[in-house]
Chains A and B, each alone.
Chain A
Amino acid sequence: MNIRNNIALSDSGFLFDPSTGDSFSVNPIGMEIIRMIKGGKTDPEIRQYLLSTYQTDEATIEKDYYDFLKMVEQFHLIEKTDGKEKD
C-alpha cells in the first residue's frame, strides 16, 4: 500500500486531497509515518524506527500504528497496489 500520489504534504502538518478538497491535520509523528510510507518503508521498518526513536513500548506502537493506518485508509488517502499489499 502507499499514500495516493496526488496527496500533497505540507511541512506544517497538513495533508491536502485535491480530488475532494479535504484537508487533514496530522501531528509530527503521524507526518513522519506518512513520509516513511511514501518513501517505501515497510511496516516492520517503520515500527522499529518508532520504537527506537520514542519513549514507548512495542505493544503501544503496534496498537497506535495500526489504528493510525486504519484512519488514513478510512480517509481514502491510500492506494492499494495491484491488490497485493506489502506487509
Chain B
Amino acid sequence: MKRLQYERPLIQRVNTGILNKFGTRTEFTPFTHIDDVSVKDLLQQYGSPLFVISEKGIREKYHEAVRAFTNRYPKVQFAWSYKTNYINAVCNIFHQEGSWAEVVSGFEYNKALQNGVPGEKIIFNGPDKTDEDIRSAIANKSPLHIDHLDELYRITELAEEAGVKPEVAIRINMDTGIYPMWDRFGFNYENGQAWDAINKIILANKLELVGLHCHIGTFMLSPSAYAVAAGKMADLALGIRNKFKKNIKYLDMGGGFASRNTLKGSYLQGADTSPSFDQFAEAICTALLNAGFLQDELPLLILETGRALVDEAGYLLGSVISNKRLADGRRATILDFGVNVLFTAFWYDHKISPAQEFSHYTEDSVLYGPLCMNIDVVRENCTLPPLRKGDHVVVHTVGAYNMTQWMQFISLRPAVVLIDKDRNAHLIRNRETLNSIEVEEVMPSYLKDFKL
C-alpha cells in the first residue's frame, strides 16, 4: 500500500471575535523561487543559510526612486549609502545606475575608491575622519561633510598644509517634529550653531562651502518631516546667498526613507504603511521649489537613500534545525540562522515564508536562531505551516544593514548570491571559513603547544 504524505498533527485554538494581529498575513504562502530561480537549488548549491540578492529588484527600485524625484525637480543625484550594503557587487549595481558613493569611514571610503568611484563623487560623512582620511579626501577632491567644530578646525589645518581650498559641506540637525530628534550629528539649525559654522567657514576663506547636508533619521514614516527639513535647508542656503552673495551648489537631504518592513510592535504591516518614493519626493521637491530660489540657482538635490532602495531586493534562505514545545505550550522552531546573521530581527518582524508546499493548516510559533543565548529570537510570534526538520524558509526584505552589521559570533557568516536580470546566480561573497577568521590572529610562540 502506498503511504500518504505525512504532516504533523496540529490543533490550534481559533480566535473568533477579536481581530487577530496575524490574521491578514500571507506568510504561509510558499515562496519557492526568487526571480524564477529555485530556492531549493540555491540552498543545495551554496549551502544554508544563504543571502540572495535580486539585481532586478535593486534596479527597479532605483528607477522608481529616480523617477519620483526627477519628475518633480530638475537636478537630482543619488549617492549610495555604503553602510547599508557594501558588498562590492551591490555597490557597483548602484554605480552603474549613476549613483555616487556616500561613506562614513576610511574603510568605506577606500572601498568606494577601489570600486572605481571618482574622488569628487564620494561624499565623506561621519564624525570620525582621521587625519589620513581627511588628507586622502582632500587629495581626491571628495566633498567632506563636516560634523563638528573640532573637525572643521582640523580640516582647515590640513587644507592649509596641502595648500588647497577643499570643497566642504556642513551637516545640519534640526527639529522636524519627529521624536527622537537626531541632534548628535552636525550643527543645530534652531539654536544658531549652523549659522555659526557657516560664518566661520566663509569668513575664514580656507574652505569652499559648497553644500548643506542633513539626515533627519532612519526608517522615517513621515514625508512631512522631510518637507520641514527641506524648508530649513533651503532657508539656510538662501540666507547664505543673501548675506555672502554665494550660491550653495547642493542640498543633501540624506537617507532615512522607510522600507517596506514591519517595525516590531507595529500592528500595521510595513508594506501597507510605508510612504512611497512619490510621497517623499513630493514633500521635498515642493518645499525646495517653493523656497524662493531663482530658476537657474536651484541647488542640486542629493539623496543618500539606503534601506528603501535595497531592503526588498534581499532574501535570507535558511533551514529548520528542530521543533520544540515550550513549557507554556507555545511551539518553538529553531532555525539555522539567528540574530548574528539577521541583525535586523532586533528591529523588524520580518516576513518569513516556507519554501515548500504545505496544506493550509498553520500554527503560531516562536522562531529561534541557533545561538546559545536568550536574545536570539528571529520572530516572537509567526504563523507558519508545520515545518519539519530540514524544511526551508525564506526571510523577506533583508537587503539593508544585514550584510554589513552581521556578526561573526559562534558560527561563520553565510555566502551571498546575486541573481542577475537573466536569472543567472553569481556568488558575490564566499561563505566564511575558519581561515577567514584566523588569518587575523597571531599566536605567541610560547602558547603554540600544550599537552592534555
Interface residues of A (CB under 8 A from B): 14-15, 22-30, 33, 52-56, 60, 64-65, 67-68, 70-72, 74-75
Judging by beta carbons under 8 Å apart, are A27 and B325 in contact? Answer: no
With the chains together, A23 CA to B386 CA distance in Å? 20
Structural contact, A30 and B6, CB atoms closer than 8 A: no
**In the complex, B8 has a CB within 8 A of chain A:** yes
B16 interfacial by beta-carbon distance below 8 Å: yes
Query: For chains A and B in complex, what number of residue pairs have CB atoms within 8 angstroms?
Result: 68
Choose one: A25, A54, A60, A65; the contact of B11 (CB below 8 Å).
A25
Residue of B nearest to A72 (CB): B11
How far, in angstroms, from A74 to B5 measured CA to CA in the complex?
27
Most buried by B among A26, A52, A70: A26
Say if the beta carbon of B329 comes within 8 Å of chain A: yes
Q: Which residue of A lies closest to B5 (CB)?
A: A55
Any A CB within 8 A of the CB of B448: no
Q: Which 5 residue pairs are nearest across A and B when measured between Cβ atoms?
A: A30-B9, A27-B361, A54-B6, A56-B6, A68-B9
Could you tell me if A24 and B13 are in contact, using CB atoms closer than 8 angstroms? yes
Name 18 interchain pairs, CB-CB below 8 A, sorted by A: A14-B14, A15-B11, A23-B14, A26-B10, A27-B7, A28-B7, A28-B359, A29-B6, A30-B10, A33-B9, A52-B1, A54-B6, A55-B5, A60-B6, A64-B8, A65-B9, A70-B329, A74-B329
Residue of B nearest to A29 (CB): B9
Given contacts A25-B361, A27-B359, A54-B4, A64 and B9 within 8 Å (CB-CB): yes
Give every chain A residue within 8 A of B445 (Cβ-Cβ): none
Over the window 364-404 of chain B, the binary record of Cβ atoms lying under 8 Å from chain A Cβ atoms (1 yes, 0 no) is 00000000000000000000001000000000000000000
* Residue B436, interface by CB 8 Å: no
Chain A positions within 8 Å of B11 at CB level? 15, 24-26, 30, 68, 71-72, 75
Complex: chain A residue closest to B324, CB-CB? A67
Which listed residue (B1, B7, B8, B325) contacts A70, Cβ 8 A?
A: B325
In Å, the complex CA distance between A33 and B10 comes to 10
Given contacts A54-B6, A71-B325, 6 further A-B contacts (CB under 8 A): A14-B14, A27-B9, A28-B7, A54-B5, A64-B8, A68-B10
Using a CB–CB cutoff of 8 Å, the interface residues on chain B facing chain A are: 1, 3-14, 16, 325, 329, 359, 361, 386
Report Cα–Cα, A45/B31, bound state, in Å: 37
**Does B13 lie within 8 Å of A75, measured CB to CB?**
yes
CA distance A80 to B329 in the complex (A): 20
Q: How far is the CA of A54 from the CA of B7 in the complex (A)?
A: 9
By CB atoms of chain A within 10 A, which of B4, B10, B13, B359 has the most? B10
What's the nearest-Cβ distance from chain A to residue B194, in Å?
A: 60
Report Cα–Cα, A70/B9, bound state, in Å.
12
Given A67-B325, A70-B325, A74-B329, check contact A25 B7 (CB 8 Å).
Answer: no
| C-alpha spacing A54/B4, complex, angstroms | 4
Q: Are A55 and B6 in contact (CB under 8 A)?
A: yes
A71 neighbours in B (Cβ, 8 Å): 11, 325, 329
- Cα of A25 to Cα of B38 in the assembled complex, Å: 32
In the complex formed, the residue of B with least CB distance to A16 is B14
Q: How far is the CA of A70 from the CA of B8 in the complex (A)?
A: 14
Contacts of A14 in B (CB 8 A): 14
Residue of B nearest to A51 (CB): B3
Question: A68: which B residues are within 8 A, CB to CB?
Answer: 8-11
Nearest-Cβ distance from residue A48 to partner chain B, whole angstroms: 13
Provide the residues of chain A in CB contact with B329, threshold 8 Å.
70-71, 74
Q: Which residues of A lie under 8 Å from residue B10 when comparing CB positions?
A: 25-27, 30, 68
Given A67-B325, A70-B325; A22-B13 close (CB under 8 Å): yes
B88 to chain A, nearest CB (A): 45
CB of B14 within 8 A of CB of A55, answer no
Q: In the complex, are the beta carbons of A55 and B4 less than 8 A apart?
A: yes
Nearest residue (CB) in B for A73 is B329
Interfacial chain A residues near B12, Cβ < 8 Å: 24-26
Residues in B whose Cβ lies below 8 Å from that of A24? 11-14
**List of A residues within 8 angstroms of B5 by Cβ:** 54-55
A25 and B14 contacting across the interface, CB-CB below 8 Å: yes
Closest to A57 in B: B6
Contacts of A53 in B (CB 8 A): 3-4
State how many angstroms separate the Cβ of A43 from the closest Cβ of chain B. Answer: 14
Which residues of A sit under 8 angstroms from B9, Cβ to Cβ?
Answer: 26-27, 29-30, 33, 64-65, 68
> CB-CB < 8 A to B8: which residues of A?
29, 64, 67-68
Task: Name the A residues within 8 Å of B16 (CB-CB).
Answer: 23
Contact A29 B14 (CB under 8 A): no
Query: Please, which residue of chain B has its CB at the minimum distance from the CB of A22?
Result: B13
Task: Please measure, in the bound complex, the distance between the C-alpha atom of A33 and the C-alpha atom of B361, giving whole angstroms.
Answer: 16
Min Cβ gap A27→B in Å is 4
Residues on the B chain within 8 Å of A23, using CB = 13-14, 16
User: A25 CA to B10 CA in the complex, in Å?
Assistant: 8
* Interfacial chain A residues near B6, Cβ < 8 Å: 29, 54-56, 60
